[in-house]
Amino acid sequence: MTIEALPEATHASFSDFPVSGATRKAISEQGWDVPTEIQNLTIPALLDGEDVVGLAQTGSGKTAAFLIPLVEAMERNARGIQALIITPTRELASQAADELKSLSRHEPVKPVVLCGGTSIKPQINALRGRATKVAVGTPGRILDHLQRGTLQLGSVKYLVLDEADRMLDMGFAPDVGRILSHTPDARQTALFSATMPKEIKGIVNRHMRSPRWVAVETSAPTVDTVEQVYYRVDGKEKTTALKTLIDAEEKPLVIVFRRTKRGAKNLHRQLERQGYKAGLLHGGKTQSQRTKALESFNMGRTRILVATNVAARGLDIPNVSHVINYDLPEDVDTYVHRIGRTARAGKHGVAVSLIGEAEVREFRQITKRLPVEVRESRLPKSA
Ligand code: AMP
């Protein structure tokens, strides 16, 4: 199993891809000039009907890499669900659905989002509608629909497993296996993952047909454009340090990460009490609460978002100026994913880690695996 770069991976422009005029127009309206590396490497193979395993993380443009060929594969007049996208989180599912709507805006492909934490009724109604050709969702709710008989996957010809490593981490492997057994063997399958543990290779061997393996430098999107610093501050002082950092900026848009739901709630409460308008995002929130918090942040109505790792992957909000690790991330992957929430699409961003005495060693373990040095810095003087 060798990872290869495709020889045809030299496209300098989207117009070199054999896609419809409608798709080309939609791509250009997204404001994208040239394909990203993962798009260059995977779109031609996927358009050719091949199975593809892509080693790439969020921020690489991987969503469009699997969506552009998906849009091209849709048969407008055929019945039933033709494509299924399985993602580990609700946020990723809705982002993929939104991007699909944008990329198919001139010849609409209607996705239905099948995620938990939200009422199942409207999903069932949408699935009954003939117009729905693509299902995007998380494993639990997709299985729920299969068991209720409200979702049939017998006509799926294009299947995507997005952030497969994350799905494994979350214990979704058996669910994914069950879902795949409801889809035809003759389907085309694309799998994207930021890392390639053994278990993923197992999934690939069991469920994919001689796929193309392509890889892009996983840390590339973050290292170039994210300025990474850390401050030595102890537990109790962290909130003061956080406020000092926020106050020092003109109009910051900040995501503050905490490890636990409880920690996130406490910090959110403290900030609000002290007059900072902040949003809160964690796994215990309902879908509509999450959407509201995200919308408000996206529009800049709340400039601080306190979140757990639920928000570390997939979130794609332009103009996030700072990611602040209030608590240390669990590992280097989480660190990279968290800081990848800033500096989207080549913009500049700052990632700050607040490191207490007890966390110094663990932080060193994380940073020594990074290709760049994370600089120690001094807090700005508070006013
Ligand atoms: P993803 O890795 O799919 O999460 O995408 C990261 C971001 O890159 C999203 O905001 C996309 O809208 C954006 N994007 C995707 N493809 C391109 C492209 N070819 N040029 C510029 N931005 C892109």
Which residue is closest in CA terms to ligand 1's atom 21?
32
Q: Is 166 in the pocket of ligand 1 (CB under 6 A)?
A: no
Query: 327-332: long-range contacts (C-beta < 8 A, 24 or more apart)?
Result: 327/257, 327/258, 327/259, 327/260, 327/263, 328/259, 328/353, 328/355, 328/359, 328/362, 328/363, 328/366, 329/257, 329/259, 329/366, 330/259, 331/366, 332/366, 332/369, 332/370
- pLDDT tens per residue across all 383 residues of the chain: 333 333 344 556 898 899 999 999 999 998 888 898 899 999 999 999 999 999 988 778 899 999 999 999 999 888 899 999 999 998 899 999 999 999 999 999 999 999 998 999 999 999 998 888 999 999 999 999 999 999 999 999 999 999 999 899 889 999 999 999 999 999 999 999 988 888 899 999 999 999 999 988 654 444 567 888 999 998 889 999 999 999 998 888 999 999 999 999 999 999 999 999 999 998 888 878 888 888 898 888 999 999 998 765 557 777 888 999 999 988 777 888 788 777 666 667 889 999 998 899 889 888 877 767 888 988 876 54
Do 224 and 196 share a domain, yes or no? no
Atom of ligand 1 nearest to the CA of 14: 19
Do 112 and 153 share a domain, yes or no? yes
- pLDDT score, position 12: 67
Is the sign of the CA dihedral 81, 82, 87, 90 positive or negative?
A: negative
Which residue is closest in CA terms to ligand 1's atom 13?
61
Do 194 and 238 share a domain, yes or no? no
From 36, 70, 216, the mutation candidate for ligand 1 (largest count of ligand atoms within 8 A of CB) is 36
Which residue is closest in CA terms to ligand 1's atom 11?
61
In a domain, 3, yes or no: no
Do 318 and 172 share a domain, yes or no? no
In a domain, 8, yes or no: no
Asked whether the beta carbons of 73 and 89 are under 8 A apart, the reply is no
Distance in angstroms (rounded) separating the CA atoms of residues 19 and 47: 8
- Residues whose CB is less than 8 angstroms from the CB of residue 93 and which lie 6 or more positions away in sequence, other chains included: 85, 87, 113, 114, 115, 136, 137, 138
Do 148 and 284 share a domain, yes or no? no
Atom of ligand 1 nearest to the CA of 63: 3
Longest Cα separation, the chain: 65
How far is ligand 1, taken at its centre, from the CA of residue 217, in Å?
A: 15
Among residues 322, 354, 346, 313, the alpha carbon closest in space to that of 96 is found at 313
CA of 130: how far to CAs of 78, 84, 141, 270, in Å?
Answer: 9, 16, 20, 49
How far is ligand 1, taken at its centre, from the CA of residue 232, in Å?
A: 34
Atom of ligand 1 nearest to the CA of 35: 19
Among residues 222, 79, 205, the alpha carbon closest in space to that of 152 is found at 79
In a domain, 296, yes or no: yes
- pLDDT score, position 195: 83
Q: Is 344 in the pocket of ligand 1 (CB under 6 A)?
A: yes
Atom of ligand 1 nearest to the CA of 318: 10
In a domain, 130, yes or no: yes
Do 103 and 179 share a domain, yes or no? yes
Do 118 and 52 share a domain, yes or no? yes
Number of domains in the chain: 2
In a domain, 1, yes or no: no
Do 332 and 202 share a domain, yes or no? no
In a domain, 368, yes or no: yes
Q: Is 35 in the pocket of ligand 1 (CB under 6 A)?
A: yes
In a domain, 7, yes or no: no
- pLDDT score, position 142: 98
Atom of ligand 1 nearest to the CA of 60: 2
Asked whether the beta carbons of 143 and 90 are under 8 A apart, the reply is no
From 37, 63, 66, 315, the mutation candidate for ligand 1 (largest count of ligand atoms within 8 A of CB) is 63
Q: Which residue, 190, 217, 244, sits at the end of a domain? A: 217
Q: Which residue, 170, 198, 217, sits at the end of a domain? A: 217
Q: Is 345 in the pocket of ligand 1 (CB under 6 A)?
A: yes
Do 82 and 141 share a domain, yes or no? yes
Residue 70: give the domain boundaries. Answer: 14-217
Asked whether the beta carbons of 23 and 72 are under 8 A apart, the reply is yes
Is the sign of the CA dihedral 173, 176, 181, 185 positive or negative?
A: negative
How far is ligand 1, taken at its centre, from the CA of residue 218, in Å?
A: 15
Distance in angstroms (rounded) separating the CA atoms of residues 274 and 382: 15
What is the number of helices (H) and of strands (E) in the chain?
15, 14
Do 59 and 162 share a domain, yes or no? yes
Q: Is 64 in the pocket of ligand 1 (CB under 6 A)?
A: yes
Q: Which amino acid is at 243?
A: K
Do 247 and 269 share a domain, yes or no? yes
Q: Is 54 in the pocket of ligand 1 (CB under 6 A)?
A: no
Q: Which residue, 161, 182, 217, sits at the end of a domain? A: 217
pTM of the model: 0.65
CATH number of the domain to which 127 belongs: 3.40.50.300
In a domain, 310, yes or no: yes
Distance in angstroms (rounded) separating the CA atoms of residues 82 and 69: 13
- pLDDT score, position 344: 64
Do 213 and 156 share a domain, yes or no? yes
Q: Is 36 in the pocket of ligand 1 (CB under 6 A)?
A: yes
